[in-house]
Amino acid sequence: MAAKSKFTAATLAELGPAKLAELIVEEAQANPAFRKRVIAALAGTQGPEAVAKLVERRLAALEKARSFIDWPRIKEFEKDLAATLASITDEIGPASAPLAIDLLLRFLATAGGVFARTLSSDRLEDLYGAAAAALGPLAVRLEPADRAGLPDRVMTFVDRAGDVAPGIIASLLERASAHDLDRWDRLLADKVVALKSAYAAHSYRELRQTIALQRGDLDGWVALESQKPGQLRDGLAVAERLLDAGRAEEALAWLDIEEPSRLAYADALDLADGVTKRDFRLPARSALKARILEALGRGQEAQDLRWATFEATLNPDILRAYLARLDDFVEFEVLDRAFSHALAAKTRYRALYFLSEWPRLDYAARLVLDFGLVWDGRHYQVLQSVADRLQEEQPLAATLLYRALVEEILTKGKSAAYGHGAAYLARLDDLATRLDPAALAKLGRLSHADWQAYLRQQHGRKASFWAHVAK
């Protein structure tokens, strides 16, 4: 069999100009966005101004457009925008940074209008993000006088650019001179004052914080953070920066006013355990506070905090930090206490996950067997992970979990998961060869053969599932 030709620029060049031109014409006739790229490239042979005229016509049409773009048309629209952006960055940018920046700013100013008349699209967001990111490298190629005027030019259209505006400014701040940073800071301060909503002003205040960090002005950065409403203030971030700067007392003060997040948050383990809301930043807050306490010479308080946090969260990182500061040989006693606590925890799924990930697979298996009827196959994200870890060393416990997963899929008729169910059944076949049949009987469970017969009896009509099993 002939080797597959590599699709590279070098191999394409071997086709020769005539064949490549033929292929380009053929594709351009079928692909309007590609045709525009080709036309722009041809115009580029006459200089960047010729390409700019093509781009300006497209931007003028984009600025005037008002019609809604529905799903059937969104992909072609995205391709068209991508072609326009590529003409600016690839054809004009290398030849004329000032001209490319003018067109990029005009392109970015259409963001608000475009998002207002389209459905949500990650591709569109990526395109405008790429346009914003392209500004910074082009800006450093400007003459000093032209670069100095950029902040004022950008601020004239930030409202039209909508959510894209902060990204535009961030790109330009990365390479801004000290003088430019001063101008940006004044303009952004005026913008924050002009915006009455704290949420609307939030991204602009954060840009001012970016400037403060570029200047090495930690106090200025902290002052800006203190101006935010409580729910937007990040005490952890402030405390960490202050601690890194050797200002532990101030760091502790900031951390002590840090409030639990008001956002409702629950991961797969929370859902399995019926925990509807928890302070998901508690482990990070406690870990940082412990470091601060240690910096202040309050090591025992730090350790007490770590242990209390572990008991509340079963967070393995917190436990590791606690163990790392213990004297030799004390670690083993503490670990026994930690595992005993996990075995008795009310949040059984989180305890099971902790024990399997540490790993202490013997204790994880004990938990599975102690609460054999509790494990619910709905929580497959947890149970599959644990069962996969247990299957080599703890086949009995793994069997119970895989059975729970299979029974959930079949009982609820989850046809989209039949492939997974068949894979679990194959693992159960393997586990059965390593199990003592009496072990299942002691738990009041059917043997593997009897359990399979039960499945056939109860779910024999689910032909699609058994077809997966037969593969």
Residue with tokens 């086949």: 395
Task: Say yes or no to pLDDT of 114 above 70.
Answer: yes
Task: Say yes or no to pLDDT of 232 above 60.
Answer: yes
> Which tens digits make up the pLDDT trace of 378-396?
999 999 999 999 999 999 9
Task: Say yes or no to pLDDT of 331 above 70.
Answer: yes
Q: What is the pLDDT of residue 200?
A: 86
> Which tens digits make up the pLDDT trace of 243-285?
999 999 999 999 987 666 666 678 899 999 999 888 888 999 9
> Which tens digits make up the pLDDT trace of 157-167?
888 888 899 99
Q: Which of 353, 313, 345 is nearest to 321 (CA)?
A: 313
Q: What is the pLDDT of residue 32?
A: 63
Higher per-residue pLDDT: 298 or 6: 298
pLDDT > 70: percent of the chain = 90
Q: What is the pLDDT of residue 76?
A: 87
Report, as an integer, the average pLDDT of 135-155. 91
Q: What is the pLDDT of residue 160?
A: 86
Task: Say yes or no to pLDDT of 461 above 90.
Answer: yes
pTM: 0.80
pLDDT band at 2 (very low <50, low <70, confident <90, very high): very low
Task: Say yes or no to pLDDT of 306 above 90.
Answer: yes
What is the rounded radius of gyration, in angstroms, for the C-alpha atoms of the chain? 31
Q: For the ranges 71-80, 359-368, 429-438, which has the lowest average pLDDT? A: 71-80
Report, as an integer, the average pLDDT of 26-43. 60
Report, as an integer, the average pLDDT of 410-436. 95
pLDDT band at 23 (very low <50, low <70, confident <90, very high): low
Q: For the ranges 156-160, 170-174, 342-346, 410-414, which has the lowest average pLDDT? A: 156-160
The CB density around residue 256, as the number of other CB atoms within 10 Å, is 11
Q: What is the pLDDT of residue 1?
A: 39
- For the chain, give the secondary structure using H, E and C: CCCCCCCCHHHHHCCCHHHHHHHHHHHHHHCHHHHHHHHHHHHHCCCHHHHHHHHHHHHHHHHHCCCCECHHHHHHHHHHHHHHHHHHHHHHCCCCHHHHHHHHHHHHCCHHHHHHCECCCHHHHHHHHHHHHHHHHHHCCCCHHHHHCHHHHHHCCHHHHHHHHHHHHHHHHCCCCHHHHHHHHHHHHHHHHHCCCHHHHHHHHHHHHHHHHHHCCHHHHHHHHHCCCHHHCCHHHHHHHHHHCCCHHHHHHHHHCCCCCCCCCCCHHHHHHCCCCCCCCHHHHHHHHHHHHHHCCCHHHHHHHHHHHHHHHCCHHHHHHHHHCCCCCHHHHHHHHHHHHHHHCCCHHHHHHHHHHCCCHHHHHHHHHHCCCCCCCCCHHHHHHHHHHHCCCCHHHHHHHHHHHHHHHHHCCCHHHHHHHHHHHHHHHHHHCCCCHHHHHHCCCCCHHHHHHHHHHHHCCCHHHHHHHHC
Task: Say yes or no to pLDDT of 40 above 60.
Answer: no
Q: What is the pLDDT of residue 429?
A: 96
Task: Say yes or no to pLDDT of 3 above 60.
Answer: no
Report, as an integer, the average pLDDT of 230-235. 86
* Packing angle, helices 218-226 and 235-244, rounded to 10: 160
